Structure 1
Amino acid sequence: MPTGSSENLIIGFDSNEDAAVYRITDETALVQTADYITPMTDDPYLFGQLAAANALSDIYAMGAKPITAINLCNFPGEGIPNEIFSEILNGGASKVLESGAVTVGGHTIKDDELKYGLSVSGIVHPDKVVRNSSIEIGDSLILSKPVGTGVLFNGVKKGALESKWLDRAVQRNVVLNKKASELMLKYDANACTDLTGFGLLGHLNEMVSSNDLSMEINALSVPYFEKAIETSEQGYKPGMSKDTMRSLEKSVSFDSTVSEAYQWLLVDPQTSGGLIISIPEERTDDLLKELKSDDSPEAAIIGKVTEPGHTAIMVVSK
C-alpha cells in the first residue's frame, strides 16, 4: 500500500510503534492514533470509559500528552435506545476530559455490531518520543496493570463465571495510563508500550523483534486479575489468544514448569491494559515504588532484557 513519505515523519506505517509521530516544529511533534472496540460490559457509560481509556493509551505509551479526540461510532440503526448511545459518548467524554484533552467531533455509521472508540492526537517533543523498540540489555520490565480480561470475558460469555469478576477488571482498566506515563518519563525509561490485543507476549515480542536481544519473563511475577488463573485453567481462552500463540511459535519458549493456564494468560488479549516499561535496573525500584503508591498498586517487575539467546523470549516459572 503506497503511504507517501515526508522528512518530517518520525514514526510511520512501517514500524511496530504504538502511534504515528510527525514533526511540526523543532519543539513539537504530533502523535496520532485510532482505536475502537466492541462492548465488554453491559454498562454503556463504563463501556464508553473503557473504549476511551484504551484509545488514549497509545498516546501515553509514546510519552506524549493527548490534546484532541474524535469519536468513532459504529452504532446499530435500530434496536438500541438513543439513551444508550448518549451514555456511551458521555463515558468516553469523561475520560477525554480527565486526560486533559478536548473532544472536537466525531463520525457515526450504521453497523449491525455496536463498536465505539476514538481517534486521538497528542503532542511530544520530537527528541523525547518513547519508542517500544529502544530496550537495552539489563533493563527491568515493569507491567503497571494486571492481566486476564480476555479469559474473564470469555468465562462470563460462556456462563462459567459471575460477571462481577469481569466488572472488577473493567473498573481497573478504565483507569488512565496517564500517571504511569508521567512516572515513566520522570525516571527516564528506555522504552514503553501499552498492553492490548496481542497479549503480554505479543507486545513484548514487538519490543524485542527489531533488536538482537532477548527477554526472560517470569510467569509467576506477572500480576493477574482475580479469578483469571482459575478461568484459564478451565480452558476459557479467547480465539485471539490462539492466533497470537501460533504467531509466536518461533519467538517464545516456555520452560517445562510453566503450566498451560499461565501460557494462555500471557497471550490473553487486553483492553486498556497497563504499560510495559523497560527501564535501567538502577532506576527500577524507585519507579516501582511510585507506581505502587500512585494508581498502579499491582505494578510488578515481570522480567528483564538479556543478551541474545536461542529464543527472543524465554518464559520461566520461579
Structure 2
Amino acid sequence: MTDAPRLTSLAHGGGCGCKLDPAILRRLLSEQPAAGPFERLLVGNETSDDAAVWELDDGTCVIATTDFFTPMVDDPVDFGRIAATNAISDVYAMGGKPIFALAILGMPVGKIEPAIVASILRGGAEKCAEAGIPVAGGHSIDTPEPIYGLAVIGTCRREAVRRNADALAGDAVILTKPLGVGVYSAAIKRDALDEAGYRDFIATTTRLNTIGIALAAEPSVHALTDVTGFGILGHGLEIARGAGLTFALEAGALPFLPRAEALVQEGFVTGASHRNWNAFGAEVDLPAGFPDWRRHLLTDPQTSGGLLVTCAAAQADAVLARIRDAGYAAATRIGRMAAGPARIRVDG
C-alpha cells in the first residue's frame, strides 16, 4: 500500500462527535430493564454517569468503563493517545484511580497498513503508561471504519465515589479544560488548522484528568463528570437533571482554545453540534439575541474534555487554585447551581 489514506477520510465522524444522538440514547436507555436489585451496584445507568461502580466487601469500589471512537486526527500515534486519554478520563471523573485497561480495536483490513495500526496501539499504550497502568489485553475485529479505545478498570473507596447527580443548590461550577475541541477537529479534517493550533489541540486532548482523584478527596466537591460528545450544555444538563436544579451558566466566563471563536465564525461547526442542540435545546434558556456561533460553541462536542466540577461556593476559590496548581491553567469558574427546574440558564 503506497498511498495510505488519511485516517479521518475513512470515518464518517470523529472522536466523541460520533456518539449517538443524545435524544436517541436517552430513549434507548429508558427502554432498557433496570439493572436489578444489586445493592453493591452503587452507580449503574440510572444517572447517565461516566462509569459503573461496584462495591466490594471491604468498602473498596471497582469502577468499570469503556470508550472508543473513530479518528479525529490523521497521525496514528496521536489518535491512540487521544482515545486512551479520553477512555481513562471516565475513571477519574468518578473519583477513582485506574488500575488496568483492555484495548478495543476495529480496523478496515486491506485499507490500513499493519504499521499504522501498530502506531495507534503504541499511542494508546504510551498514555496508559503515563497513567501508571498496563494494557492487559483486548479484542479486535475487521470493521468498515477505524475504531480504537479502551475498557478501563479502576478503584476507589466508597466515600470517594463522585456521581454527576449529586450537586447541591448554591454550588459553584468549575470547568478544568478549555472548550473548542470539536471546532478544531472540523478544521483539521479540512486542513485548515495551523501547526500551533494542532499543538494546542493535542495538548488539551492528551492531558490526563488525574486531578479527579484529588477532587474526590475533597468533601466540598459534590459532583463530577467529564465533558465529551454532548458539549458543555449536554453534560451540564446531565448534572442539572440528576440534582433537580438549574445550572446557571456564565457564557462569558467559559475558557476556549485560542482559535475556537474565530474558527466557528468561519463555519467550522460539526454535525454533532447541530444534533446536540436539536436533542436538548428545549431545556436551555438563552439570552435574547444570543448569536448562533456562540451557541455552537456550547454544543460543540468535546473529545477528552475537562472535568465539570460542582463544589461548595465557600471553598470554590481553594478548589480552583488546587486545580490550576496541578497544571490545568485554563480551569475556570463558569457558573453555579440554583434552585429551580432541571434546566440550563445561559447568562451573558
Which is further off, 104-113 or 79-88?
79-88
Asked if 1:181 is matched to 2:212, the reply is yes
Distance 2:169 2:155 in 1: 29
Q: Which amino acid in 1 is paired with 2:320?
A: L
Counterpart contact for 1:149–1:170, Cα < 8 Å: no
Counterpart contact for 1:74–1:111, Cα < 8 Å: yes
Query: What's 1:11 paired with?
Result: 43
Query: What's 1:190 paired with?
Result: 222
Query: What's 1:134 paired with?
Result: 166
Q: 1:171 aligned to 203, 213, 228, which one? A: 203
Counterpart contact for 2:68–2:104, Cα < 8 Å: yes
Asked if 1:203 is matched to 2:269, the reply is no
Distance 1:3 1:78 in 2: 42
Which is further off, 248-257 or 31-40?
248-257
Deviation at 1:250, TM superposition (A): 2.3
Distance 1:316 1:109 in 2: 47
Asked if 1:212 is matched to 2:249, the reply is no
Deviation at 1:13, TM superposition (A): 2.6
Query: What's 1:68 paired with?
Result: 100
Q: Normalising by structure 1, what TM-score? A: 0.94
Asked if 1:96 is matched to 2:89, the reply is no
Query: What's 1:263 paired with?
Result: 295
3-state DSSP of counterpart to 1:305: strand
Distance 1:159 1:105 in 2: 35
Do the aligned partners of residues 55 and 25 (structure 1) sit closer, same or farther apart at CA in structure 2, a change above 3 Å counting? same
Q: 1:46 aligned to 78, 88, 111, which one? A: 78
Q: 2:332 aligned to 300, 307, 312, which one? A: 300
Deviation at 1:170, TM superposition (A): 2.3
3-state DSSP of counterpart to 1:176: coil
Deviation readout 1:95-139 (Å, 9 max, x if unpaired):
112212221101110112111000001111123210001001111
Deviation readout 1:127-159 (Å, 9 max, x if unpaired):
321000100111111000000111111123234
3-state DSSP of counterpart to 1:165: helix
Do the aligned partners of residues 3 and 119 (structure 1) sit closer, same or farther apart at CA in structure 2, a change above 3 Å counting? farther
Deviation readout 1:32-76 (Å, 9 max, x if unpaired):
100002112222111111100000111000001111100000112
Q: Normalising by structure 2, what TM-score? A: 0.86
Distance 1:58 1:36 in 2: 12
Distance 2:61 2:125 in 1: 24
Deviation readout 1:277-310 (Å, 9 max, x if unpaired):
001111111111122222200000011111215x
Asked if 1:253 is matched to 2:285, the reply is yes
More helix by share: 2
RMSD, aligned α-carbons: 1.6
Distance 2:111 2:300 in 1: 32
3-state DSSP of counterpart to 1:67: strand
Counterpart contact for 1:257–1:316, Cα < 8 Å: no
Q: Which amino acid in 1 is paired with 2:186?
A: N
Query: What's 1:33 paired with?
Result: 65
Counterpart contact for 2:287–2:347, Cα < 8 Å: yes
Distance 2:72 2:160 in 1: 34
Deviation at 1:7, TM superposition (A): 2.4
3-state DSSP of counterpart to 1:50: helix
3-state DSSP of counterpart to 1:248: helix
Distance 2:84 2:111 in 1: 24
Q: Which amino acid in 2 is paired with 1:47?
A: F
**Where do 4+ consecutive residues of structure 1 move more than 6 Å?**
none
3-state DSSP of counterpart to 2:285: strand
Counterpart contact for 1:147–1:225, Cα < 8 Å: yes
Query: What's 1:107 paired with?
Result: 139
Which is further off, 151-160 or 78-87?
151-160
Aligned pair count? 315
Q: Which runs of 5+ in 1 are unaligned?
A: none
